[in-house]
Amino acid sequence: MMDPLDFQGYRRIETRSAARAAFDTILARTQRSLRIADDRGEFYGFERKPFADALEALLGRGPDAAIELILHDPTFVERFCPRVIALLRRHWPRLRVLRSEESAREFPRGFVLADDAVVLRRPHHDSALTFMDFDEQAVAEARALLDELAAGATVAIGASTTGL
């Protein structure tokens, strides 16, 4: 389980590079579950080999490890993330890429929830501003929002997708 004491606590992150670094650190320490709601997956660099390697490592930590990516537009992943597609083929249904329902696609915020213990929040997809938080209320709010988004989402990229 991820220990919030390993991090600096609540942080306001101003730049994309700093947000990506925080994301990578959290991802490397995630032990059992990763849930992400984002517009496309580009902000955190889903196309990068280190991202795919971290997903594979997480899925290799045990049969209960699970990853859920809820995207408003999965086209970026389909076109530019062949490593994620390859992982999807090998690890479905523990790795799922979902498309948010139409009514949620105007929702401008993004969330990363790791091990139900740490959350990265982006108030708007058009901004690099990101918040890292371990507060139980922030985690519970992120979990509830992700549950709601997942409940209305559909499979965007299935295990048979080959990518473009």
We report the CATH number of the domain holding residue 137 as 3.30.870.10
164, part of any domain: no
96, part of any domain: yes
- Stretch 86-107: mean pLDDT, rounded? 92
Total count of domains within the chain: 1
26, part of any domain: yes
144 touches 68 (CB < 8 A): no
pLDDT tens digits along 41-96:
999 999 999 999 999 999 999 999 999 999 999 999 999 999 999 999 999 999 99
Full residue range of the structural domain in which residue 88 is found: 4-157
134, part of any domain: yes
162, part of any domain: no
Q: Which of 77, 89, 95, 82 is nearest to 35 (CA)?
A: 95
Q: Report residue 64 as tokens.
A: 């209960």
141, part of any domain: yes
28, part of any domain: yes
Strand-pair partners of 99: 71, 154
CA-to-CA distance for 101 and 154, rounded, in angstroms?
7
151, part of any domain: yes
The runs of H, that is alpha helices, within the chain are: 16-29, 49-59, 75-80, 82-91, 136-152
